[in-house]
Structure 1
Amino acid sequence: MALSLISNTAAQSQSSRITEVTSPGGIKAWLVHDTTLPLIAVEFAFLGGASQDGAELAGLANFTASLLDEGAGPLDAAQFQSTLADHAVELHFDAGRDDVRGSLRTLSENKDKAFELLRLAVAEPRFDPEAVERIRAAHMAMLRRRSTDPSSMANDRWFALAFPDHPYGRPADGTLESMARITRDDIAGFAKKTLARSNLRVAVVGDISAEELGQRLDAVFGALPATATLVPVAHVEPQKIGTVDVIALDVPQSVVVMGTGGLERRDPDFMPAYVLNHILGGSAFSSRLFKEVREARGLAYSVYSYQVALAHTGLWFAGTATKNERAGESIAIITDEFRKILKDGPSQTELDEAKSYLTGSYALRFDTSSKVAGQLLQIQLDQLGIDYIDKRNALVDAVTLDDLKRVAGRLATAKDALTVVVGKPQGLSGG
């Protein structure tokens, strides 16, 4: 079922299997109707996320999302969770920087109960004091672990330095101080302002018709507020580019995070940049960074680069973990490889190999109903169009060396980065 969505057969548009459903109440969703298995997978998101936390309440979106399935309507947390288990329903919520997401997976025979539980979770969450304090304790335990985890420390410091006066500079998981400060009223207020029909995106795959889905959408989401009350978030560029910050930690390896400006997802040059990144460090075993840092010099087991396209900025990262005494050397090599690929570009062979891998592996994103739903949701969030699956591989195939040279020119400032190192690196200074 899923693989047929990206079949190379030209006889019929594969996106014709994706139907845009509009409920009687006006709620939209993308549907792939498939009866191969008696399963229904639903992925949905409310725009907003941690960017709506507020300066003093970092972690509020994440805290709220964690509580949505901890009691709702007439069911307390234990009853809600046992009902999910009794009917083999999987329901999860989480929050990122730009949205609050939910995921539902159920057998067709249990869909009535599954959709009712989902309705209760989003429309009638209880936020009982017992559940609030239990989840708060779990979050604070997680934050204590993160406070000594080198990778978490490096990532949080990078965003704090890059976006000092912006919501992206706050840790999405919050801090020990902010988590202790959040009240039940804060949580209920966040849910009321953020969980609304206007900022809802939905994707559904499985054993459900368009007509039934329309009815279910109204039943589940119809009672939510019509319009979300979101604080505008400004577009932003990362600061402190070209600087190095060191967090001293007594560990045998230094964790390195290097980040700089990139392209936003809807930028026409995003796909050439995506191919360029694959060649630099996006491929696990054939990238330039892998060959130079691991194979040629044995400096690290893992080295990588990747793009991050947030709603209000585009970023390009590289990272590794290496012995403290080799950290400076590793950073120098990664920086050099960034500069080389931006100055000279890749070879035709590198481009051909990258395109072959990226087009051939695309099908792996669609090998389960949940993955298909997740991809369809992300395409909606990125505003790429319902026919994007049809076009995606052609967009990759169309990338030329001239395209990569043009993009390299646009990304010329990426030869410098904001670098954060956690450990005891030799030959570096910062604080």
Structure 2
Amino acid sequence: MSMLRAIPFVLASLVAVPAAATEIQEVTSPSGIKAWLVEDHSIPFTALNIAFRGGASLDAPGKRGAINLMTHTLEEGAGDMDATAFAAATEDLGAEISFDVGDDALSVSSKLLSDNRDEGAALIAAALSTPRFDEDAVARVKGQVLAIIKSEDTDPNAIASKAMAKAIWGSNPYGSSINGTLESVSPLGSQDMIEAKNRVIARDRVIVGAAGDITPQELGQLVDRILADVPATATAPLPGPAEFQSQGGTEQIDWDSPQTVISFAQPGLSMDDPDYFAAFVADQIIGGGGFSSRLMEEIREKRGLTYGVYTSLVNGVYGASWQGGMSSSNNTASEAVELVKQEWARMADGVSEKELNDAKTYLTGEYPLRWDGNSKIAGILTGMQLIGLPIDYPDGRNARIEAVTADDIARIAQERMDPEKLQFVLVGRPE
């Protein structure tokens, strides 16, 4: 089980689809379910990604963490197979089936060999339609989640992440960890898992992406078989937009450590915002570009105040933020914070042609590297549909980056990057 996040499902990889990608086909199954497909018959397996909109944001009141727990219990047996039998059946087929969830979607990722694809699909169908949720399995997975929650309470990075999420998203599900709390998760049992499943897993919420050794007709039939016994509608409505709550400021959380963990954030830009790509390039210059970024140069290289500092545009389906972070010694943390503010303000003065060209070269050059396997392709196709990108989005992505000018960056910095509106969270004992 992965460490699950308090921030939205990150869709940054969606800006990494190569311009020269294999053609994306839209498929409609016999029952009317839409899917996106990239055919590749060179290797006899298919990567299939099925997502259900809403994800952990659909937790019932007072039961934060239930959908996360339910998701990680789906693989603990289905139909007449207990957890051991389900795992053995998957292994016997040479298949891989995994379940994950964020606040934007619950996803099922699979790799199915062509020779026994139907048998693998039957296992996915059973997990989605007739999961067992045996009490012993629920208790075992719940113990793992509770251990994660306890470990987060002693991890300054997790503490900072949770505090930042609450500061910028408030009571919205984005503002809390999908793991839930000890108080919300401890009472959960099998009946809660059934209710959580019905809140999110339904055909009216489904998104499908596939890549590999399968034709459009075969994919349509496969999807219908998998979803045949999944309920038509979910019991919980989809959430509305998340409103960014913070107007700027600093929250300090006392933590006995020689280092202070520093997180910062401001409102972001949705991917359909006309200024998104200007901000995307600006982010690469100020903090997304590793050792070549301005923040790294000023805070690490010139002054040695941190081992590393980063920024990133964090795009969820329901809200977007522009976040960053670093760690610094307690006696230098305040100076590091001030340098972030200074560099945030300095972006309004513009960027050099070298900075602009270097950022564009990197962002367009690394573009195809993200499209390097059927599993990644299937996930990206699902993510594109989730956030509402058009099917031809990859064709014009690099051109939109190349079109960004230094004037564009100066303008969006003046309009969108106010250092006084940055929200900071410091976990440690900064002097």
TM-score between the two structures when normalised by the length of structure 2: 0.93
Matched residue, 2:100: 94
**Residues 346-371 of structure 1 deviation map (CA, whole Å, 9 limit, x = unaligned):** 22221111111100101111111111
Does residue 84 (structure 1) correspond to residue 90 (structure 2)? The answer is yes
Q: Residues 55, 244 of structure 1: CA spacing in aligned structure 2 closer, same or farther, 3 A cutoff?
A: farther
Using the alignment, how far apart are the partners of 1:55 and 1:230 within structure 2? 11
Matched residue, 1:11: none
* Alignment-mate amino acid for residue 359 of structure 2: A
Does residue 22 (structure 1) correspond to residue 28 (structure 2)? The answer is yes
Using the alignment, how far apart are the partners of 1:315 and 1:396 within structure 2? 20
Equivalent position to 1:403, from 408, 421, 431: 408
Does residue 321 (structure 1) correspond to residue 327 (structure 2)? The answer is yes
Structure 1 residues 362-371 or 101-110, which shifts more? Answer: 101-110
Matched residue, 2:359: 354
Q: How far is the alpha carbon of 1:181 from its aligned partner?
A: 2.7
Q: How far is the alpha carbon of 1:44 from its aligned partner?
A: 2.1
Matched residue, 1:429: none
Which runs of structure 2 are paired with 1:158-307 in the superposition (5 Å)?
A: 158-307=164-313
Q: How far is the alpha carbon of 1:157 from its aligned partner?
A: 0.9
SS at match of 2:196: helix
Using the alignment, how far apart are the partners of 2:214 and 2:419 within structure 1? 47
Report if the CA contact (8 A) 2:249-2:420 is conserved. Answer: no
Q: How far is the alpha carbon of 1:190 from its aligned partner?
A: 1.7
Q: How far is the alpha carbon of 1:265 from its aligned partner?
A: 2.2
Structure 1 residues 60-69 or 233-242, which shifts more? Answer: 233-242
SS at match of 1:285: helix
* Alignment-mate amino acid for residue 309 of structure 1: N
Report if the CA contact (8 A) 2:55-2:102 is conserved. Answer: yes
* Alignment-mate amino acid for residue 331 of structure 2: E
* Alignment-mate amino acid for residue 412 of structure 2: V
Using the alignment, how far apart are the partners of 1:229 and 1:314 within structure 2? 26
SS at match of 1:354: helix
Using the alignment, how far apart are the partners of 2:197 and 2:250 within structure 1? 39
Percent of pairs identical after alignment?
Answer: 39
Using the alignment, how far apart are the partners of 1:313 and 1:371 within structure 2? 24
Structure 1 residues 34-43 or 160-169, which shifts more? Answer: 160-169
SS at match of 2:362: helix
Matched residue, 2:113: 107
Report if the CA contact (8 A) 2:19-2:398 is conserved. Answer: no
Equivalent position to 1:394, from 399, 402, 412: 399
Matched residue, 1:150: 156
Q: Residues 414, 42 of structure 1: CA spacing in aligned structure 2 closer, same or farther, 3 A cutoff?
A: farther
Matched residue, 1:416: 421
Q: How far is the alpha carbon of 1:147 from its aligned partner?
A: 0.8
Does residue 338 (structure 1) correspond to residue 350 (structure 2)? The answer is no
Structure 1 residues 289-298 or 107-116, which shifts more? Answer: 107-116
Q: How far is the alpha carbon of 1:421 from its aligned partner?
A: 1.1
SS at match of 1:155: helix
Does residue 375 (structure 1) correspond to residue 380 (structure 2)? The answer is yes
Using the alignment, how far apart are the partners of 2:415 and 2:229 within structure 1? 46
Q: How far is the alpha carbon of 1:296 from its aligned partner?
A: 0.9
Equivalent position to 1:117, from 99, 111, 123: 123
* Alignment-mate amino acid for residue 118 of structure 2: D
SS at match of 2:214: coil
Runs (4+) off by over 4 Å: none
SS at match of 1:67: coil
* Alignment-mate amino acid for residue 192 of structure 2: D
Q: How far is the alpha carbon of 1:201 from its aligned partner?
A: 0.7
* Alignment-mate amino acid for residue 151 of structure 2: R
- The size of the alignment, in residue pairs, is 415
Q: How far is the alpha carbon of 1:210 from its aligned partner?
A: 0.9
Using the alignment, how far apart are the partners of 2:417 and 2:170 within structure 1? 23
Does residue 45 (structure 1) correspond to residue 51 (structure 2)? The answer is yes
Q: Residues 32, 254 of structure 1: CA spacing in aligned structure 2 closer, same or farther, 3 A cutoff?
A: same
Matched residue, 2:18: 6
Q: How far is the alpha carbon of 1:406 from its aligned partner?
A: 3.1
Report if the CA contact (8 A) 1:23-1:215 is conserved. Answer: yes
Using the alignment, how far apart are the partners of 2:319 and 2:199 within structure 1? 24
TM-score between the two structures when normalised by the length of structure 1: 0.93
Using the alignment, how far apart are the partners of 1:172 and 1:227 within structure 2? 23
Using the alignment, how far apart are the partners of 2:232 and 2:249 within structure 1? 45
Matched residue, 1:71: 77
SS at match of 1:325: coil
Q: How far is the alpha carbon of 1:240 from its aligned partner?
A: 3.4
Report if the CA contact (8 A) 1:161-1:239 is conserved. Answer: yes
Q: Which runs of 5+ in 2 are unaligned?
A: 1-16
Report if the CA contact (8 A) 1:87-1:110 is conserved. Answer: yes
SS at match of 2:292: coil
Report if the CA contact (8 A) 1:54-1:167 is conserved. Answer: no
Using the alignment, how far apart are the partners of 2:402 and 2:111 within structure 1? 34
SS at match of 1:211: helix
Structure 1 residues 53-62 or 236-245, which shifts more? Answer: 236-245
Using the alignment, how far apart are the partners of 1:409 and 1:335 within structure 2? 14
**Residues 176-209 of structure 1 deviation map (CA, whole Å, 9 limit, x = unaligned):** 1111132322221121121111111111000111
* Alignment-mate amino acid for residue 129 of structure 1: E
Matched residue, 2:370: 365
Q: How far is the alpha carbon of 1:232 from its aligned partner?
A: 4.4
